[in-house]
Amino acid sequence: MDTSNAPYMILNGKVVPFAEARIHCLAPAVTYGANVFEGLRAYWNADDGQLYVFRVEEHLDRLFYSAKVMRIEHPWTREDFRNGLLELLRVNEVKESVHMRIHLYVDEDGFMTATSPGGMFISCVFRPTSKIAMQGCRAQVSSWTRISDNASPPRVKSAANYFNGRLASLQAKSDGYDTAILLSETGRVTEGPGACLFIVRDGRIVTPDVSNDILESITRATLIEGAKEWLGLDVEQRPIARTELYAADEVFFCGTGQEVLPVVEVDRFPVGTGTVGPITAELQRRYFGVARGTDTAHPDWRTPVYV
């Protein structure tokens, strides 16, 4: 991937050089996965001379929800995280697209049930849109099952959940695919290792409803609202069977990191014509417009960094 780390990070509320952002190897964040996080993007808008962070408040809502379920105790407020994000972008003098992570975890050392002391860091990585976002990716339906709500809830964005997606990704790559689609314990389509999934059939857009062992994705919510607003289409939220992937005219992933990523092949079956479909392409174009602020609708979704 064409990425590089910004020179500074935030560790426990303070700006530190990248090399000094370290935590103890016995922290429950490391030994027991007591670690929740968010991935956000900021987009540079050259016309406005402004950097916009996309949907900060929704990411903070989800971060606090994840920390609540994992019972992580910490002293930081929403304002601390919001100010930290903005401070980090300013101190790194960012004027291009970046991906940021906020991690909130159990620090120092402790047993499996330790809930404090809380630790946090915020990172910033220069990360342009991937080349594959334009040409589309090839996905494999994984033989690994998606973790379920009553075991390791995917709705909680915990680092530990990524073990499941990692297994599926590694298998997909070693089998010659770009990425994976995971099925639930009941065999329904869930999501990819780091992105939610939509299909288009006969002009209807469909995505698994949130009781199908998925992360409640902010990009998914953006596209559900966007499909109505931009294309006049209601998105159907319902369980999706595996073979609907093979019947679909279009398939795409969505997520903060992957943005809107077309899927042109599933299990070596071409999706539709085997090229990026028109609904996917239009949603992608409109998504970039609203995230970058070249489309001025939804100003509440963009937090400007420079004053």
Q: Interface residues with ligand PMP (CB under 6 A)? A: 39, 165, 191, 194-196, 215, 217-220, 255-256
CB atoms within 10 A of CB 160: 16
Q: Which of 194, 198, 219, 215 is nearest to 207 (CA)?
A: 198
Q: Pick between residue 107 and residue 191 the one whose CB is nearest to ligand PMP.
A: 191
Q: Among this protein's residues, is 228 annotated catalytic?
A: no
Least separation, in Å, of the C-beta of 22 and ligand PMP?
Answer: 24
CA separation for the pair 297, 289 (Å, rounded): 9
Q: Pick between residue 123 and residue 256 the one whose CB is nearest to ligand PMP.
A: 256
CB 288 within 8 A of CB 72: no
Q: Half-sphere exposure (CA, 13 Å, Cβ side) for 291? A: 24
Radius of gyration of the chain (CA): 19
Is 295 exposed, middle or buried (CB count within 10 Å of its CB: 0-12, 13-18, 19+)? middle
Q: Strand ranges (DSSP E) for 12-151?
A: 14-17, 35-45, 50-54, 98-106, 118-126, 137-145
Q: Pick between residue 89 and residue 291 the one whose CB is nearest to ligand PMP.
A: 291
CB neighbours of 288 closer than 8 A, spacing ≥ 6? Answer: 129, 259, 260, 294
Least separation, in Å, of the C-beta of 228 and ligand PMP?
Answer: 18
Least separation, in Å, of the C-beta of 219 and ligand PMP?
Answer: 3
State phi, psi for 146 to the nearest 5 degrees: -65, 140
Q: Pick between residue 16 and residue 167 the one whose CB is nearest to ligand PMP.
A: 167
On the question of a cis peptide bond just before residue 278, with omega within 30 degrees of 0, the verdict is no
Q: Pick between residue 39 and residue 289 the one whose CB is nearest to ligand PMP.
A: 39
Return the residue matching tokens 């910004």: 6
CA separation for the pair 193, 277 (Å, rounded): 22
Q: Which of 149, 242, 253 is nearest to 193 (CA)?
A: 253
CA separation for the pair 144, 161 (Å, rounded): 13
Q: Pick between residue 123 and residue 217 the one whose CB is nearest to ligand PMP.
A: 217
Which candidate in 14, 95, 131, 157 is catalytic?
157
Least separation, in Å, of the C-beta of 163 and ligand PMP?
Answer: 12
Least separation, in Å, of the C-beta of 75 and ligand PMP?
Answer: 25
Least separation, in Å, of the C-beta of 161 and ligand PMP?
Answer: 7
Known catalytic residues are 157
